[in-house]
Structure 1
Amino acid sequence: MSKVEVIVLNQEDAKIAEAYGADRLELVSAISEGGLTPSYGAIKRVVNSVSIPVMVMIRPHSYSFVYQKEEWEMMVEDIKVARELGAAGIVFGALTDEKLVDYDILQTVIEEANGLSITFHRAIDETKPLEIYTSLCDSPFKVNQVLTSGGAPNVMEGLNTLRKLLADSVNGSEKPIIMPGSGLDLNNIEFIHRTLQAGQYHFGSGVRVGRDFRYSIDGKILQEIKKVVNS
């Protein structure tokens, strides 16, 4: 049985997603910019409204995945807030100017997370996913999940790379879990799941009415997706 993670923007989203079978939530703000750090109030209300794990996006801006020292300090404060409010984990990614993992900030983030689950997000798709994943596996600074479309605009286009990543991820229990995400919906998940057999999938607009974040989560679609990935 595979787990389904769903992007939520607020308390209403969270309640619907949980009611219709989501296994985990990713809470973000500013989805039109790819998802940024949500507010204190949003984190508190969402965490308190559901019993499933809530992962909080830690991303101060959308114009790059390269962060300066003052931004590190802001992100550390945001992680502290998420932890204190009861989030299960954080979603984070940082690269150097050379498009390698920024391990200096990753170490800082992991230390502040203090046991929270950590997803390294689609910053990996801005560079070479296979090399970056190997680097993360070899690093002493461990993350739990890697959200990726296989270096392509969406999962369908990144299937070949995702197959390689998933094959690598099962060769060692300590390796980060590969979680395919981007462009997943009810129309393609059966083929994608048959092809990849991933243990986790990440859904965004694909579970929304009209595939549009301006509208609510469609519980029936989410239920059908759960049936597919659990068949």
Structure 2
Amino acid sequence: MKVEVIVQNEKDAIAAEQSGADRLELVSAISEGGLTPSYGTIVRVLASVRIPVQVMIRPHSYDFVYDESDFQTIKEDILMTKMLGANGIVFGCLCKNGNIDEPLLEAVLDLADGMDITFHRAFDAVKNQQDAYKALCKYGDKIKRILTSGGKNNAANATAELHHLVKLSHTHNCAIIMPGAGLTPDNIKSVAIETEAKEFHFGSGVRKHQSFAHPIDKQKLKYLKNELNSII
């Protein structure tokens, strides 16, 4: 069982690693759903931890549809992130019709060649998740996991949908399904059992007062790690 934690800065990163996080997702502007962090933040976080860091690549919060101008920004951010030595990136892109924007995705995958890649919650805005999953399987050698709440606002309310996606991932031997959104130390055990997922993504659920305005709660993070380990 692996736990990924959203972090916004060096202090978050250190606290998450000390509390047992297996991987970090580094973002800025979390109130906007997460955007690409600054150069300085990436440098500081990478220097402060030893666990893998996935850097969000998202140029704006309007939607997940990107034009040529957006792509140029995405390109520069990926090259910067790669140059700085980040483990991987978190990215997602859609067409206006709700399908995966495969030409753009292919261009991004080429730029990020050699990096660990997560397709983010743009997946929750697709027209059909099963069809979208199968489309992403074309890139199974590069896209390692898909972050999703099963198409609902809260992953804990979509365990049946997530379980189906997990089974689909086993059938196609493709990208891992990583539930996220609304996960807490109190519901993680039941979500893990019902979905049979092996990786989980946490944000405000591991912070004091369950708010990004407050620091990571080390005791919460340690507790949920114990809850997951007890399932094995």
Report the TM range for the smaller structure's normalisation.
over 0.9
Q: Deviations over 1:48-72 (max 9, x none)?
A: 1000000000001111100001111
Identity %: 49
| 1:154 match | 154
Name the SS for the 2:171 alignment partner: coil
User: Aligned AA for 1:185?
Assistant: T
Matched length: 229
Q: For the Cα contact (< 8 Å) 1:136–1:142, is it kept in 2?
A: no
Query: Is 1:116 matched up with 2:110?
Result: no
TM-fit CA distance, 1:171: 2.3
Distance 1:140 1:199 in 2: 17
Structure 2 match to 1:67: 66
Pairing of 1:43-192 with structure 2 (within 5 A): 43-127=42-126, 128-139=128-139, 142-173=142-173, 175-192=174-191
Quote the residue 1:17 is aligned against: 16
Q: Is contact 2:192-2:198 (8 Å) kept?
A: no
Task: Give, as a single letter, the amino acid of the residue that structure 2 aligns with 1:74.
Answer: T
- Secondary structure in 2 aligned to 1:7? strand
Contact 2:116 2:142 in 1 (8 A): no
Question: Does structure 1 retain, via aligned residues, the 8 Å contact 2:123–2:132?
Answer: yes
**Distance change >3 Å, CA 139–CA 25, structure 1 → 2:** closer
Kindly indicate whether the alpha-carbon contact (under 8 Å) linking 1:190 and 1:229 is maintained by their aligned counterparts in 2: yes
What secondary structure sits across from 1:118 in the alignment? strand
Distance of aligned partners of 1:45 and 1:139 in 2 relative to their CA distance in 1, 3 Å threshold: closer
Q: Conserved in 2, the CA contact under 8 Å of 1:14 and 1:49?
A: yes
User: Contact 2:147–2:179 at 8 Å: present in 1 too?
Assistant: yes
C-alpha RMSD over aligned residues: 1.1
CA distance in 1 between counterparts of 2:227 and 2:52 reads 22
Q: Which amino acid aligns with 1:131?
A: D
CA contact (8 A) 2:25 2:56 kept: yes
Contact 2:35-2:59 at 8 Å conserved across structures: yes
Alpha-carbon distance, 1:142 to partner: 3.7
Q: Which runs of 5+ in 1 are unaligned?
A: none
List gaps (5 residues or longer) in structure 2. Answer: none
After the TM superposition, list the runs of 4 or more consecutive aligned residues in structure 1 that deviate by more than 6 angstroms: none
Alpha carbons of 1:172 and 1:99: their partners in 2 closer, same or farther (altered >3 Å)?
closer
Given the two structures, how large is their TM-score scaled by the length of structure 1?
Answer: 0.96
TM-score normalised by the chain length of structure 2 = 0.96
One-letter amino acid of the counterpart of residue 224, structure 1: Y
Give, in whole Å, the separation in 2 of the partners of 1:140 and 1:46. 28
The amino acid across from 1:192 in the alignment is V
Question: Aligned to 1:6, what secondary structure does the other structure show?
Answer: strand
